[in-house]
Amino acid sequence: MKIKVRVTCFWEHDTNYLDTLKRYGRGKLSWKNVEFVADDDYDRLVILTRPHKDFPGYDSRKAITFLTEPPASSNRHDNPCARTEAMYLPLPFWPAEIYGPRQHGGNGIRIRKTKLFSCVTSDLNFMEGHFYRLRMVNVLDQVIEEGLDIWGKNYGSSFHEQLTKYKGEIVQKYDGLWSYKYHFISENSFENGYFTEKIVDPLITETLCFYDGCLNLENFIDERAFVRVNVKEPLEAAARMIEMIQNDEYRQRIKYIKQQKKRFLTDLNPLNIIWMAVNEKDVLKECLL
């Protein structure tokens, strides 16, 4: 039976968010027995953290909440709903075209890794994770002599100006990923079960990510598909990254990265996770390895 699902989020109007859902659906606003809509003729309402400010009243019995923000976020509110899923919903940016082998969910066009190492980070610094990430990037800028490109948006601080490897702002995040073998990023918060596009996007581009954030990420993603580092010990973390690069760890791990890429394009696709919820499946259990 077809289930009509409306999705609402706090950062974008429901109608506009259909474009993102369509990207996840590879050009379609449907997934298995789910049809995504933006009008009032829906069977289930999926709330991403909290409804949009212009969202009308709704029947809470039809509503399911997925959290997309960590506990410290000011955007989190208690929404009237039938339930709040235990699984955080990671929302990758996703480009219009996903390159790579078809058997791993790509379009068949080969990904050419012509560059070594990237970081993509803004200069925001008001959360715990922001501080540790910027400090880590600053250390990498100092200790890595060549092969590192740092990209990111400026919001008014002088952080990027102090870096020697800073290349500028970047319109499409994936331009800072596709060509690179390695990438560093850490989450804004360090929580069990909470991971975001920060780890998913590198997997989509078949990039080996040096990562810190989700405390139990290995329960969701094969530990061979990323490298955990401790950003609270930046010199130790930098040494680990350098060692991994010198050992050509990318070549040894690429098959596991491709396997996880396929999972995030299919089983852990946001649309499939929503499909699980509206079909009354145990979402968290289904998302675990």
Pick the closest to residue 261 from 190, 208, 194 (CA basis).
Answer: 208
Asked if residue 93 lies in contact with residue 85, where contact means CB atoms within 8 angstroms, the answer is no
The predicted structure's pLDDT at residue 26: 95
Token pair for 114? 């012509």
Q: Where are the beta strands (DSSP E) in the chain?
A: 3-9, 30-31, 34-37, 44-48, 63-66, 83-84, 115-120, 148-151, 166-168, 180-186, 208-212, 226-228
pTM of the complete model = 0.97
Pairing, β 63-66 against β 44-48: parallel
**Is a pLDDT exceeding 90 seen at residue 96?**
no
Average pLDDT along the chain: 97
Class of domain 102-265 as given by CATH = alpha beta
The predicted structure's pLDDT at residue 231: 99
Asked if residue 212 lies in contact with residue 186, where contact means CB atoms within 8 angstroms, the answer is yes
What residue segments make up the domains of the chain, in order of their start?
3-90+268-287, 102-265
Q: For 149-197, what is each residue's pLDDT tens digit?
A: 999 999 999 999 999 999 999 999 999 999 999 999 999 999 999 999 9
| Beta-bridge partners for 180 | 115
